[in-house]
Amino acid sequence: MELFKLKADEEYIELNNLIKALGWVATGGEAKVRIDEGEVTVNGEVETRRRKKMRAGDHIVFGTDEAKVEQ
């Protein structure tokens, strides 16, 4: 499982930007499609909101990749 650390001045990162920052997708367009198709789960539930605010403690799964957001 990967850990994604928020910057000191950040409270959250949007889901589409997170999966792009983790390198799970190559472009924002691909992130949009993958999220829209229900391929991403957040805290055990399918998430289709592209701009969902991911905060410290959130757990994300995309295929065989997993990550947790921390402050």
What is the pLDDT at residue 20?
97
What is d(CA 20, CA 31) in angstroms, rounded to the nearest whole number? Answer: 7
Domain of 23, CATH number, reads 3.10.290.10
Provide the 8-state DSSP code for 47.
-
What is the pLDDT at residue 61?
98
Helix (H, G, I), strand (E, B) or coil at 31: helix
Structural contact between residues 18 and 60, judged by C-beta atoms closer than 8 angstroms: yes
Number of domains in the chain: 1
What is the pLDDT at residue 69?
98
What is the pLDDT at residue 28?
94
Domain hosting 22: range is 2-70
Q: What is the pLDDT along the chain (71 residues), one digit of tens a residue?
A: 999 999 999 999 999 999 999 999 999 999 999 999 999 999 999 999 999 999 999 999 999 999 999 99
